[in-house]
Structure 1
Amino acid sequence: MTAASVSAPTNLRRRIVFPFTAIVGQEDMKLALLLNAIDPKIGGVMILGDRGTGKSTTIRALADLLPEIEIVAGDPYNSSADDPDLMSDEIREQLAQLPAGATLATAKIKVPMVDLPLGATEDRVCGTIDIEKALAEGVKALEPGLLARANRGILYVDEVNLLDDHLVDVLLDSAASGWNVVEREGISVRHPARFVLIGSGNPEEGELRPQLLDRFGMSVEVRTERDPELRVQIVEQRSEFDADPQGFETRYQEPQALLSDRLALAQQRLPDVSIEYDMRVQISRVCAELDVDGLRGDIVTNRAAKAIAAYEQRDAVTVDDVRRVMPLCLRHRLRKDPLETIDSGYKVEKAVAEVFGLQLPAD
């Protein structure tokens, strides 16, 4: 069998979503999402704040913006045909049995974006093992769940603070390890589950554990826009989109294409971005002075700083890169007591200014 690529028929028109480049405001949220798209190992984003502030719209817009990915045709886990880290065990076995020089058929798809329903069960999320088939035929038969669909894409959990703690732990463990393991009656099946985990929630509607917050790479706070003129602009844009989605999308076709290309170039440039040793030491000094538990804050800040440098087409991280991303990477890691409020970012900005010898930004 030789390599083949297939694409979805052009007559199967995808559902039009609101263009990412048309979204007004919420700059921190957009930046955090873009950086995670460039480097998924940053660890996802927790979006906290008011309802009706465009969280779901922005996340769907990001998924639509991302370049297509190549998968093994017909594979339920969106396995890569050439990257072993992104292959299911079944695809590995198929490749091992192929004659020399032969490859599997591939297809190109849009980056998957999966919504996790609030009432989803663990079986729905992780998948289930067909015990009867396993015993009768001796094969490990897995009915894939939402984590399989989300592999190499985005998993969005709205109201994550209202999910069962056990289910949240399963999601976080899969996001961190890149694998989903399903076990039942002594049978164990696993598949790749590499996705950008994006959670949203309103702290007023349910408590967020500090341990949960710490597992997300970045955190942003969104608030309802108070400027009347911007509110009018947002309402008018939404009305125009609802009235003529096709025409509205066409208007933003060029900026969308430019941003999509910019993200693809940033992903390619990322491995070559460097960050000086002294700067890494200063980043860790900030984390130590803020009494951040563990080393996730250090790791995420380094990754996010490299991602923003790649996004801006540079090969070296600057102090300004660190200053811009550090509040997003650390503010949610400062809370020790669940009854405390999450820092607005001022404490982080102050510590960064002191360590790097900068002036605090004007209010």
Structure 2
Amino acid sequence: MRTRGWIGWLALAAGLTFLAGPAGAYDELEVEERALRVMDALLPSEIETRQKTMEEAEVSGWVHVVYEAQSDRGWIPVELFVREGADYTFMGKMYSLDPSRDADAKAEAAMDKRLPEQFERELLQSRDTPLEGVREYLYEVEVPQRGPQPVTAYVGEDFGVVGQLFGPDNANLTEAAEQKWAGSQVDWEELVKGLEPVFGPGDTEVKFAMFTDPDCPACQRAKGRIEALVEEHGDDLTGYLLWLPLDMHQHAKPKAEVLACTAPERQSALFDALEGTQPNSTEDVYTILENQEVTVPKPVRECVASGQGEERLERYKGFADRMQVHSVPSVYFDGRLFKGFPEQKVREALAGDS
């Protein structure tokens, strides 16, 4: 489930100019199908989208497809550049660049074109990509009022793109670098300081922390998969829950306050008990639980009444802001931030294959 953050992310990565023109010598159906698959990978299914234009891009060999995505700010443009043959796709803004310049200079030129002059930036790393002749550049950009953001540029022989790259299987090839960047913003020990694990013994090599909203169905499903893993590897896996109620969920905050004050061994069961309920206050939460014959211990009520629950939520939100968490569940694991629970990677780590 994505938060309001996807709106700002698209606004930063996508272009704002609509282009129209006749279709070129490419397979329109093939390009459209590829573009739709990328849009499905980019946005939640509940976000309405519509295609605006399709035309040959200024850079030879690419097709420019413009969509709009519905948000509470209206329709936001999303620009895709699909390679003729429909194997690789960029989401973002593509620029025609001087082919005589070296790759580093092209990356700087693309960033200069895309970002306002006052946005300070630092190049963190560069590497080759699976797309032959294209190199990736990861920058940290200081965005006013939003703080540091990872921004990725790609350069080919005669073009530069600021945005994201998707492979033939629709995998987001930009994510790995940005996951590492997000993970580097917070130290693991700082993240879990003072917390007790909800899953596992706490002293294992394989451990994770999951940002979770009490009203997030995807978080519930992730918890179910985690509990299945704990059944298999209980002594080898440790997990923490960081409660992050989203503004879009008006009933989530009172639940999260109570959950943040609840003993770790009871949080999972309480999460289940509160699923689908609509409290407007922590007192409503207590009433809902009492109606289910779930006891709320006195220390929990005292913790909430003293403001400790709210303080813990603010602490978790501070970590989320630093790591640019824009969706839940988001999981800090192995020094990286993942959208969703990375079950396969956790299994590989448990098997000693990571």
- TM-score tier, shorter chain, comes to under 0.3
Q: TM-score, normalised by structure 2?
A: 0.25
Normalized per residue, which structure has more helix? 1
Q: TM-score, normalised by structure 1?
A: 0.24
Normalized per residue, which structure has more strand? 2
